[in-house]
Amino acid sequence: MPDVHAFAAHATDADLDDLRARLAAARLPEAETIDRAASGPRRWDQGVPLADLAEVVDYWRTGYDWRAFEARLDRIGQFRTVVDELGIHFLHRRSARPDATPLLLTHGWPGSVAEFVDVIDELADPEDADAPAFHVVAPSLPGFGYSDKPATTGWGTEKIAAAWVELMRRLGYDRFAAHGGDWGGVITTILGGRFPESVIGIHTTTAQAPPGLPTDGLTAPERKWAQETRDFWRDRAAYAKQQATRPQTIGYSLVDSPVGLLAWILDKFAEWTDTSNSPFETISLDRVLDDVTLYWLTRTGASAARIYYESHDSLDPALRVHVPSAISVYPRDIEKCPRPWAQERFRRIVRWGSPETGGHFPSLEVPGFFVEDLREGLAAVLAASH
């Protein structure tokens, strides 16, 4: 059997001292040239406001505890294995319940396995004995976190999906359910479409329809969703174009400057969450810094950006998903697919959720609701698969 071995995350004191020294020596630009009101989303019109960034940088340098996050990962259970000659890191928490279902969770960008640390325990061993339980596996995407950085091209979403099937098989899970959002949602869609013999069913917060579908027949709210998604890709996706075309160029800043990395990621946490003034209205400052510090210490700013180069706009238009699918569309997410469009790709939608609150990072923004929504969706998937 291919080797699967336990892994412990432990940054050196020298690396942490270097991070604090770089933060202390940071050169910040002048403030943004727009109205700097005390609160409101317009403060972010030119990007991360100077006052907000300076406050986070100060806390990152003087108050943030990386060791607590390392210990959290170790308590969940960390492992590594090699798939297709690439080392893959993953969290693995087996449930104590004999009726538990294997569940694969896939993160996206600018996320990481930090997205799931607050929900894994409850998914594996729920307090409610009547709630479904799961053996949870959460891998780090190639080039992210403690997974290896690909040295050649080719590690796009299709190859990652195939690697995830092999990873699950290696853990003894020949059949499993899958969830994902962002790139994880694309990979989950491919898992359901390409590997129905392995995938019981899927839950995704990123449902992408085949291209070119008409708006005829959509309700007014659905047309609004479609327009908002088009507006996002037209006006607010410069980061994706940069990473899809020149990931190496932006990568130098992301690997060399912790403040540059923080600003690049914090901008997305602010813009893509269901908040009015700051992402920290719903996500703890520590959890955001867990994510950013993981990128920093593993020097993965450039390698993670390359998933856009490998996979941007590459989802097969002809791909159809016939396994049972549960889809949740959060109101402040960046892509909101109308159900009539989603049905063109996902042929067996067994549950459709439209939560009242939440954005692109629901496991961090509304973790309690996220767990319930995921459970209900996967319960419908499991019922439909029998």
Measured CA to CA, the distance from residue 126 to residue 122 in angstroms comes to 5
**Amino acid identity, position 97:** R
In this predicted structure, what is the pLDDT of residue 386?
82
| Distance, CA of 70 to chain centre | 19
In this predicted structure, what is the pLDDT of residue 1?
52
Please provide the average confidence, as pLDDT, over all residues in the chain. 97
The SS3 call for residue 132 is coil
DSSP label at residue 346? B
Domain 4-24+50-385 is classified in which CATH homologous superfamily? Alpha/Beta hydrolase fold, catalytic domain (3.40.50.1820)
In this predicted structure, what is the pLDDT of residue 2?
72
Measured CA to CA, the distance from residue 90 to residue 100 in angstroms comes to 19
- Give the number of residues written for the chain: 386
Task: Give 284-322 as a DSSP string.
Answer: -HHHHHHHHHHHHHHT-HHHHHHHHHHHTT-S-TT--B-
Q: Which helix (H) or strand (E) holds 92?
A: strand 86-93
CA distance readout (Å), 108 to 52, 58, 186: 25, 27, 9
The SS3 call for residue 236 is coil
Q: What is the mean pLDDT of each run of 10 residues along the chain (386 residues)?
A: 89 98 98 80 91 97 98 98 98 97 98 98 96 98 98 98 98 98 98 98 97 94 96 96 98 98 98 95 98 98 98 96 98 97 98 97 98 98 94
For 275-291, what is each residue's pLDDT tens digit? 999 999 999 999 999 99
Measured CA to CA, the distance from residue 174 to residue 177 in angstroms comes to 10
Measured CA to CA, the distance from residue 338 to residue 297 in angstroms comes to 39
**Does residue 110 have a cis bond before it (omega within 30 degrees)?**
yes
Bridge partners for 180 per DSSP: 106, 204
